[in-house]
């Protein structure tokens, strides 16, 4: 689907489906290509005459957040997050002084939000392509917060798991799933933060004072999100290590108890084995009190070892 918004030299805002349908020369032109067909993709080359490499990046290959500079325009790759599938969605932006083209293969709520803002804008005299791009970038970054907050809430919920009858194996599995989600959002937010930082430093395009203030706002949000993500990753690592340590501690206690029982029964097993041999001539074999004597010896050994282990604080 293609939709076109343009502002003419009289600062009158108009909309149409295709840029071919414009009725006047635009001072500012925004073309949004959402879920475009193969035929609609031809607009990038036949109408706008973009460089084939930037068209390839937008149409064919999923890219990390980045920018490229061409002769008469800049090409940006932004990543939004789909809160339903929790997967990154690529939004490509072609921009120069009078033209901005947003290209995305999935429907974008962020672009819709900015589109409605421009439609309802009362004063179009100061509208610019950079404003559209920055508003889109701000909407994308703001939509990271629900995902980041949700993951942070999941991390904090682990502190209540001790009171729930749930196995350590399940907890460890949930922790690794949570770390996988954190890694996914981290792979999106970090490159976006680097891109915004380079924008803020003026290494890509010259910025006015107002634009720098706006980018500082976006950059602050990204810094906060990165800090929350890193904090959550550290907490999940601590949770994982704690549960592994707890499991090892329980296993060591079990092994210690079993070892103590084994050590206690070893001499008793030895005595039982000796007097269980089928020989006719053995000491005390035909003694009247032989069985009682063996029982007494075995009980003395048992209680003696228990007292010794207790004195050593082994259990």
> In angstroms, rounded to a whole number, what is the distance separating the alpha carbons of residues 290 and 283?
9
Query: Alpha helix locations (H) across the chain?
Result: 38-46, 52-59, 109-119, 129-142, 144-157, 168-200, 209-274, 290-311
- Predicted local distance difference test score (pLDDT) of residue 198: 82
User: Which CA distances in Å does 28 have to 130, 131, 226, 245?
Assistant: 11, 11, 35, 62
Q: Are 309 and 315 in contact (CB under 8 A)?
A: yes
Q: Are 222 and 199 in contact (CB under 8 A)?
A: no
> In angstroms, rounded to a whole number, what is the distance separating the alpha carbons of residues 8 and 188?
37
Which residue matches tokens 């490509």? 92
252-260's contacts with Cβ under 8 Å and 24+ in sequence apart are: 256/314, 256/315, 257/315, 260/309, 260/314, 260/315
Q: Hey, CA dihedral for 284, 287, 290, 293, is it positive or negative?
A: negative
Q: Are 46 and 35 in contact (CB under 8 A)?
A: no
Which residue matches tokens 């001539």? 281
Q: What is the DSSP string of 76-92?
A: EEEEEEETTTTEEEEEE
Domains of the chain: 1-125 (3.30.460.20), 260-311 (1.20.58.340)
> In angstroms, rounded to a whole number, what is the distance separating the alpha carbons of residues 104 and 90?
6
Question: For the residues 167-177, what does the mean pLDDT come to?
Answer: 73
Question: For the residues 54-59, what does the mean pLDDT come to?
Answer: 87
- Predicted local distance difference test score (pLDDT) of residue 161: 59
Strand-pairing partners, residue 104, are: 34
| Residues in contact with 15: Cβ distance below 8 Å, sequence separation at least 6, in sequence order | 3, 4, 5, 6, 119
Q: Hey, CA dihedral for 134, 135, 139, 142, is it positive or negative?
A: positive
pLDDT in tens, 225-276: 888 888 888 887 777 777 777 778 778 888 888 888 888 888 888 888 877 7
- Predicted local distance difference test score (pLDDT) of residue 245: 77
Nearest-CA neighbor of 221 among 102, 134, 117? 134
pLDDT in tens, 75-124: 999 988 887 777 788 899 999 888 999 998 888 888 888 888 888 887 77
- Predicted local distance difference test score (pLDDT) of residue 93: 92
Mean pLDDT taken over the chain: 82
Nearest-CA neighbor of 131 among 198, 26, 208, 196? 208
pLDDT in tens, 2-32: 888 888 888 888 888 888 887 788 888 999 9
Q: Are 102 and 137 in contact (CB under 8 A)?
A: no
- Predicted local distance difference test score (pLDDT) of residue 94: 93
> In angstroms, rounded to a whole number, what is the distance separating the alpha carbons of residues 290 and 28?
111
- Predicted local distance difference test score (pLDDT) of residue 160: 60
Nearest-CA neighbor of 274 among 263, 283, 265? 283
Share of the chain above pLDDT 70, in %: 93
Q: Are 185 and 150 in contact (CB under 8 A)?
A: no
> In angstroms, rounded to a whole number, what is the distance separating the alpha carbons of residues 186 and 179?
10
- The pTM assigned to this predicted structure is 0.73
- Predicted local distance difference test score (pLDDT) of residue 159: 60
> In angstroms, rounded to a whole number, what is the distance separating the alpha carbons of residues 26 and 64?
32
Question: For the residues 28-38, what does the mean pLDDT come to?
Answer: 88
pLDDT at residue 206 above 60?
yes
Q: What are 147's two structure tokens?
A: 């995902």
- Predicted local distance difference test score (pLDDT) of residue 43: 87
């Amino acid at each position: 689907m293609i939709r076109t918004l343009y502002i003419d030299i009289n600062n009158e805002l108009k909309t149409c489906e295709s840029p071919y349908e414009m009725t006047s020369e635009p001072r500012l032109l925004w073309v949004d290509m959402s879920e475009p067909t193969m035929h609609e993709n031809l607009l990038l080359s036949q109408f706008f005459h973009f460089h084939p490499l930037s068209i390839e990046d937008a149409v064919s290959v999923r890219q990390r957040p980045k920018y490229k500079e061409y002769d008469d325009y800049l090409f940006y790759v932004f990543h939004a997050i789909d809160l339903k599938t929790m997967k990154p969605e690529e939004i490509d932006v072609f921009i120069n002084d009078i033209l901005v083209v947003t290209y995305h293969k999935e429907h974008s709520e962020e672009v819709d939000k900015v589109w409605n803002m421009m439609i309802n804008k009362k004063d179009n005299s100061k509208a610019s392509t950079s404003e559209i791009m920055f508003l889109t970038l701000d909407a994308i970054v703001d939509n990271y917060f629900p995902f980041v907050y949700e993951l942070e809430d999941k991390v904090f919920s682990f502190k209540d798991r001790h009171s729930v009858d749930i196995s350590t194996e399940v907890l460890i599995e949930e922790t690794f799933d949570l770390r996988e989600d954190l890694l996914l959002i981290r792979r999106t937010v970090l490159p976006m933060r680097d891109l915004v930082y380079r924008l803020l430093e003026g290494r890509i395009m010259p910025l006015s004072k107002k634009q720098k203030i706006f980018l500082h706002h976006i950059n602050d949000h990204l810094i906060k999100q990165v800090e929350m993500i890193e904090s959550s990753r550290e907490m999940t690592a601590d949770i994982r290590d704690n549960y592994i340590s707890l499991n090892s501690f329980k296993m060591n206690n079990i092994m210690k108890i079993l070892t103590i029982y084994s050590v206690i029964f070893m001499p008793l097993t030895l005595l039982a084995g000796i007097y269980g041999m089928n020989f006719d001539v053995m000491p005390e074999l035909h003694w009247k009190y032989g069985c009682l004597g063996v029982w007494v010896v075995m009980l003395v050994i048992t209680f003696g070892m228990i007292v010794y282990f207790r004195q050593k604080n082994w259990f």
